[in-house]
């Protein structure tokens, strides 16, 4: 699987947010989308998901745009939103069943994977609960289970670590590495830069809807002229406007 954004500009009705954004995620790669609040990370994700349409530029998965084959494009992506999103009247089990139905993946492999994830996230005895009665972290774990149980080529997680306890963060890092090892690709937007630096192969640093630097850590270091800097040091320099291209 390869996801490509080619010179994408876009936003909300008349409000242009993204300007000429280009990047690529290849099979088995983790890409971290990084930027200040309001930089355009979620907006980028909404364009990839097809919830927003670019004003110009192109987004492809395996060289197909969403308009070529909506259903095939959509089924390649599993998505965990920034805010847990669920039906108030459905139980945890019913949510997982619904996702399996939508993705046409109600099979033993998916059910076993769901079981493993629920156990890891300590939710295996909560299948009959309504998620509205869960804590925020438990709701996030439900969303993660629903996405990670699927065998999609591309996993997109908006702020994966927010709201999770340290054990769950550790588990999620392991799960993302598992996806990577099995040849899946992961796009995550995050403010937790130490985790991003450890997990990601590629970084895209967004500022006011534009890509300020991108590539692997060494390439990003070269772009900003900080050969030994951590991702956090680079990010702070960019965020404070101390780097001009
Ligand atoms: N539904 C919307 N309608 C209009 N403008 C929006 C909408 N959602 C976001 N924006 C604007 O788009 C810009 C980018 O927002 P976005 O949510 O993509 O940022 P982000 O990088 O994900 O930020 P955060 O780190 O706070 O989640 C902001 O200026 C925001 O006000």
- pLDDT single digits (tens) 109-146: 999 999 999 999 999 999 999 999 999 999 999 999 99
Q: Ligand 1: distance of its center to the CA of 43 in Å? A: 6
193 belongs to a structural domain: yes
Q: What is the CATH number of the domain that holds 186?
A: 3.40.50.300
Is the CB–ligand 1 distance for residue 17 below 6 Å? Answer: yes
Per-residue confidence (pLDDT) for residue 242, from 0 to 100:
74
Label residue 245 by pLDDT band (50, 70, 90): low
27 belongs to a structural domain: yes
Q: Ligand 1: distance of its center to the CA of 158 in Å? A: 13
Mean pLDDT computed over 94-116: 96
Neighbours of 53 (CB within 10 A): 11
Q: Is the pLDDT of residue 4 over 70?
A: yes
120 belongs to a structural domain: no
Per-residue confidence (pLDDT) for residue 233, from 0 to 100:
94
Q: Is the pLDDT of residue 32 over 90?
A: yes
Is the CB–ligand 1 distance for residue 208 below 6 Å? Answer: no
DSSP 8-state class, residue 116: H
69 belongs to a structural domain: yes
Label residue 241 by pLDDT band (50, 70, 90): confident
Is the CB–ligand 1 distance for residue 40 below 6 Å? Answer: yes
Per-residue confidence (pLDDT) for residue 238, from 0 to 100:
86
Q: Is the pLDDT of residue 243 over 80?
A: no
Per-residue confidence (pLDDT) for residue 140, from 0 to 100:
96
89 belongs to a structural domain: no
Residue nearest to atom 11 of ligand 1 (CA): 38
Which residues, other chains included, contact 203 with Cβ-Cβ below 8 Å and sequence gap of 6+? 31, 32, 34, 196, 213, 214, 215, 216, 217, 220, 231
Is the CB–ligand 1 distance for residue 145 below 6 Å? Answer: no
Mean pLDDT computed over 226-243: 89
pLDDT digits (tens, 9 = 90+) for 37-67: 999 999 999 999 999 999 999 999 999 999 9
Which residues, other chains included, contact 176 with Cβ-Cβ below 8 Å and sequence gap of 6+? 30, 155, 157, 160, 186, 188, 199
Is the CB–ligand 1 distance for residue 43 below 6 Å? Answer: yes
Number of domains the chain is built from: 1
Q: Which residue has the higher pLDDT, 14 or 154?
A: 154
16 belongs to a structural domain: yes
> Bridge partners of 156?
79, 187
Is the CB–ligand 1 distance for residue 38 below 6 Å? Answer: yes
102 belongs to a structural domain: no
The complex scores an ipTM of 0.98
Label residue 239 by pLDDT band (50, 70, 90): confident
Q: Domain range for residue 16?
A: 3-76+152-239
Label residue 244 by pLDDT band (50, 70, 90): low
Q: Is the pLDDT of residue 175 over 70?
A: yes
DSSP E strand boundaries for the chain: 3-12, 15-25, 30-34, 56-61, 77-80, 154-158, 185-189, 202-207, 210-215
């Amino acid at each position: 699987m390869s996801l490509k954004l080619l010179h994408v500009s876009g936003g909300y009705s008349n409000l242009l947010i993204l300007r000429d954004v280009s990047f690529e995620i290849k099979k088995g790669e983790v890409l971290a989308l990084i930027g200040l609040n309001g930089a355009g990370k979620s907006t980028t994700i909404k364009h990839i998901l097809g919830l927003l349409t670019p004003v110009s530029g192109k987004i492809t998965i395996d060289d197909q745009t969403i308009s070529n084959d909506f259903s095939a494009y959509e089924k390649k992506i599993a998505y965990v939103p920034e805010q847990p999103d669920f039906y108030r009247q459905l139980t945890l089990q019913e949510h997982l069943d619904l996702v399996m139905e939508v993705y046409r993946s109600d099979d033993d492999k998916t059910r076993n994977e769901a079981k493993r994830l629920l156990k890891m996230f300590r939710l295996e005895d909560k299948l009959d609960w309504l998620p509205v009665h869960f804590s925020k972290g438990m709701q996030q774990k439900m969303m993660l289970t629903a996405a990670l149980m699927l065998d999609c080529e591309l996993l997109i997680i908006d702020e994966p670590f927010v709201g999770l306890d340290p054990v769950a963060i550790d588990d999620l890092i392991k799960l993302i590495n598992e996806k990577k090892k099995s040849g899946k690709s992961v796009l995550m937007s995050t403010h937790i830069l130490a985790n991003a630096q450890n997990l990601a192969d590629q970084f895209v640093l967004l500022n006011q809807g534009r890509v300020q630097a991108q590539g692997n850590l060494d390439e990003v270091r070269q772009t900003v002229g900080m050969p030994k800097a951590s991702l956090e040091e680079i990010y702070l320099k960019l965020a404070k406007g101390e780097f001009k291209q």
